[in-house]
Structure 1
């Protein structure tokens, strides 16, 4: 069976599948541990406590946009091309530039945010319990930035599953280990104590990432600080990646501000389940990104077309399976977190529909980025975020958490269909084979 499948695949699709399969195993392991931790926290902290943890973490994820400043895909592209051309100095220069620039940026942003936090909480009355959780998250920005830089470097170098093992799975495993230590030493579970575990795991993660990179890239080339070309590409990508992150996290943030932290906690559980489908898209994009960059650089458009079509077909089938699965066993899955969370069933279904369209349009966004149309992708992303925010404000006010789900599903569907159209027009590639 395996040989039959291999015989029907072109060399590029086969390479993506091999790299994706290894990365998928790593992601699935992290996903299982993450779900178990989320279930435990939901039962231990309740909807409001879980809402505080998720609200703080997702606010930190949005702030990470400013510290990374769009450099992740720049690092992947620059290192993938430098490796293909066997230029060790280019790899070293790319990493050195990003570590210095993004590292200093993260320190500055974390410091400013910590200083402004008391003022913000005074204006946002009734949420003083968020001071310590948010302060912890701001400090976490610094190690998170460094780990993202090293993760992107490993990805660009072709060590995709290794990057995901450390950056995704190891982090959540460390949090899980910390929760077990809390139980062993009878330490109480609170939003603050849980977020401290996340902070410690981020620091340990950076150390492991540094060791892994040194073991992977053994060149003695120190490289140069060459910010201008990277920054030129990164600024448009800041819009692309930034708006994407905001779109994925705005619903929980806006629910926490316009609604309640309990709403945010219940919604976040449904979103965690629905976004399991996008895990396959993330893994595929991570594997396909360097391949798209090198193929487009060599003007091998027909080979890109075949690879993209086959990858998209597989993603569509997976998304459909998940959608029907949530329709059938959604109530039971949500009940694992506690009876209070079962009310999120229709939130889960609506979000799963949005993710189906996200998967079925394939790697349209990554195609635009890796083929030099990051500015166009940026414009689409800006419109999508603005639409998402407007819809969230209107629908959360009237329908609460369900309104946030509807807003997210509509935005994801419209933006991805439009990317599909632009990819066909700009690159002459159609991810969906009609």
Structure 2
């Protein structure tokens, strides 16, 4: 009997690894291509615009990113969790209702954010150059489409359609942005500034949104067309708002340094630091790529009480993400100045901030799926508390260190905040769920910890109800 159970466990483990390998490979390919295109686009922008104009473009892009996140109200994360659970239970009526309600709320909030931003821009335009006004106006115009595109991407991710959930944003959008800029300069012989760059990006957002909307309709149109929508708006909203708080703090932890560099020093230095942030974030891209497949799997496996498979998903995805992050840090240490030099000679000044933040991403990858485990299993409130502590620490360190040591201070603040919440959540997930999310430990220590881990009761209802703390 024990031998049969062992064989069954091995088969299940093999099945989990195959799913992660297949989905992760597609996601890795898309993200690799997207990473290369994103880097090429940033280099192209920095070269074409110069440090000052690129700083304006990067600063406005960050402002738009901060404006977009509340308009999603956290539905981008809750959709992944809820659709995966509803699909496992064949509840297509709830899926249809959830998508309809999420898009309605997202559109209303994004239009409100865009209008309020436009009003502020009108009253502030006298103190701005024409270039900055155009850049802000074009950036604000992208808010509704960026919101809806993110919600659509979440649906396809929950359905494990890794390719089409990412292709419009990762591949199509940067290609179109660069093509428009190339035509503007090469064919028409015009000079580019931050405003032209943001208009090109806005056009690319619109085109990629149309492509994504068509893909989503073809992907699930037949399943939801004939069913009546079912709604649980109050529960969905409660869950989504909780997840939005986490998303907001993720955003602050990752991008606050860019904003504060712009406000406390200059937009030019904000642009230099933004390049370092973008490069350092690449260290986490392998873990992010695997997450596209792992996130819905975590929700489904938890809903069906398959604890061993949960552990396999965390271990497999965490290890691959950590190896990539560690290798990239070595590459950055050796060739980081050369890479930053592609943006322009001024950008080499952000070499050490880039390395400091890359180290933070290595620790993040080593800690694995702790945040995703909490989010996908109804324990997002614990993650919120950890993120609040880290966000406060990040803000305090930014305020204290940026005036003293500039970009180095912002990099230290970003890294300390990132490491802080990861360590807290690794301990929490292990103690409360019996799941060890770290990428690697000596085999003897790993086995000892797993044997001593608590075995929580698993209830599928937790994955589709909001605010339920495990």
Length-normalised TM-score, structure 2: 0.87
Per-residue CA deviation, residues 57-93 of structure 1 (Å, 9 max, x unaligned), is 1111111111001111111112111222222212211
SS in structure 2 at match of 1:111: helix
Structure 1 residue corresponding to 2:170, chosen from 140, 165, 168: 168
2:111 to 91, 107, 112: 107
Per-residue deviation, 1:161: 2.2
- 1:129, 1:174 → 2: CA distance? 22
1:72 aligns with 2:102: no
1:40 to 26, 39, 44: 44
How many angstroms apart in 2 are the aligned matches of 1:367 and 1:342?
Answer: 38
Offset of 1:234 from its aligned partner? Answer: 0.6
Asked whether the equivalents of residues 96 and 225 of structure 1 are also in contact (C-alpha less than 8 Å), the reply is: no
Query: Do residues 287 (structure 1) and 293 (structure 2) align?
Result: yes
Residue in 2 aligned with 1:134?
136
Deviations 1:123-166 (A, max 9, x none): xx677853332222222111111111111111111112211111
SS in 1 for 2:403: helix
2:192 corresponds to 1:186: no
Other-structure match for 1:209: 212
Q: Given the alignment, which residue of 92, 97, 104 partners 2:101?
A: 97
Partner of 2:160: 158
Paired residue for 1:244, among 239, 244, 250? 250
Are 2:22 and 1:22 aligned?
no
Structure 2 residue runs of 5 or longer lacking an equivalent are 1-9, 447-470
Query: Partners of 1:207 and 1:126 in 2: how far apart?
Result: 33
The alpha carbon displacement at 1:95 in A equals 0.8
User: After superposition, where does 1:202-351 map in structure 2 within 5 Å?
Assistant: 202-217=205-220, 218-219=222-223, 220=225, 221=227, 223-224=229-230, 226-351=232-357
2:386 equivalent among 356, 361, 380: 380
Shift of 1:241: 0.9
Distance 1:118 1:383, change over 3 A: farther
Once the two structures are superposed, residues 329-373 of structure 1 have per-residue CA deviations (whole angstroms, 9 ceiling, x without a partner) of 111111111211112111111111111111110111000000100
**What is the aligned counterpart of 1:50 among 49, 54, 69?**
54
Please identify the structure whose Cα radius of gyration is greater: 2
1:409 to 2:432 alignment:
no
1:3 paired residue number: none
Distance in 1, Cα, partners of 2:378 & 2:302? 9
Cα distance, 1:177 vs structure 2: 1.5
Distance 1:84 1:237 in 2: 22
SS at match of 2:430: helix
TM-score normalized by the length of structure 1: 0.94
| 1:382 Cα offset (Å) | 1.8
User: What does the per-residue CA deviation read over 1:350-400, in whole Å, with 9 as the maximum and x for residues that have no partner?
Assistant: 111111111110111000000100111111112222211111111111111
Cα distance between partner residues in 1 of 2:249 and 2:129: 26
CA RMSD of aligned residues (A): 1.9
